[in-house]
Amino acid sequence: MHTSSTLVLVLAVFAASLVEMVEALTIVVAAGVSRGWRSALEGAVAAAAVLGVLVLAVGVPLIRYVPIDALRVVVGALLLVLGLSWLRKAILRASGHKDLHDEDKIYADTVAELSSDHDGTPAKPDKGRDGVGFAVAFKGVFLEGMEVVLIVISLGAAQNRLGLAALAAGAAVVLVGIVGLLMARQLSEVPENTIKTLVGVMLTSFGVFWVGEGAGVKWPGSDLAIPVLAGFFVVVYFAMTAFMRAKLPAPTVQVEGVTS
């Protein structure tokens, strides 16, 4: 396995985890502020632990018992679906055809939703345990983390580098945790669409490569084809975004005298 493909693997897993964990952190911070920090943090840690067990329980048997070519085709298919989907969203967002992901809005909505109980009375966050805060934080981290788990298992298993992939994801979780503690609510500062574009490019590149490799295509340059594919899809991203902006611009929407 070449250093270049290992580097792309680490970058892809790290960036994907970074984006998903920023989204999870938004929900955890909102749950912490509105329902109490203890329950929110316990929910987040419990979800992270379940996700870690999933990586071990699914990833290790995959590497040991599934033939590598079959594994690469299946993994490549998963990465292709995921990568093309991220790249599609990134192009639509960059060309104005889809709204940017707004962490501030998600934060405000979640706090508003959690700040009152179902009967309309305001919640009283205290130092004790709060079931709602725990459940919301758990669900936020678990659902956002599932995509990371799939990427870690897919990339890690296909290259027989599950430990390295899990380490890269863990590093992103720690980084987001530290930055989250320092910045708390400034999550909208993270250039999410740029990172998502990067991840979309890398997942699509790995997807095309592993599907071809597993089916028996002999890539020129072997693993060195991965960074070449990544470069190709970067060009595709910019070309499609420019095409959409120039030829098919998003229609302006008139809302009470304001154009957007």
Is 67 among the residues that bind another protein (CB under 8 A)? no
> d(Cα 258, Cα 195) in Å, to the nearest integer?
30
Q: List binders of another protein among 22-61 (CB under 8 A).
A: none
86-105 positions binding another protein, by CB under 8 A: 87-88, 91-92, 95-98
Q: Give the number of residues in contact with another protein, rule: CB under 8 A.
A: 39
Locate 63 and state its tokens.
């590497």
Q: How far is the CB of 156 from another protein (least distance, A)?
A: 18
Q: Return the number of other C-beta atoms located less than 10 Å from residue 221's C-beta.
A: 11
Closest distance between another protein and the C-beta of residue 105, in Å?
Answer: 19
The single residue among 27, 80, 169, 176 that binds another protein, judged by CB under 8 A, is 80
From 46, 76, 97, select the one nearest 241 (Cα to Cα).
97
What is the pattern of x (binds another protein, CB under 8 A) and - over residues 117-156?
-----------------------------x---x------
Stretch that binds another protein, among 26-34, 83-91, 161-169, 185-193 (CB under 8 A): 83-91
Q: What is the distance between the alpha carbons of residues 224 and 113, in angstroms, rounded to a whole number?
A: 49
Q: Which of 184, 191, 188, 172 is nearest to 30 (CA)?
A: 184
220 touches another protein (CB under 8 A): yes
Binding to another protein (CB under 8 A): which residues in 160-219?
A: 204, 207-208, 211-212, 214-219
E strands, the chain, in order: 254-255, 258-259
Report the alpha-carbon distance of residue 163 to residue 154 in Å, rounded: 12
Nearest to 148 by CA among 120, 178, 128, 173: 173
- DSSP label at residue 128: S
Stretch that binds another protein, among 19-27, 40-48, 59-67, 224-232 (CB under 8 A): 224-232
Amino acid occupying residue 126: D
Residues making contact with another protein (CB under 8 A): 73, 76-77, 80-81, 84-85, 87-88, 91-92, 95-98, 146, 150, 204, 207-208, 211-212, 214-220, 225, 229, 232-233, 236, 240, 244, 248, 250-251
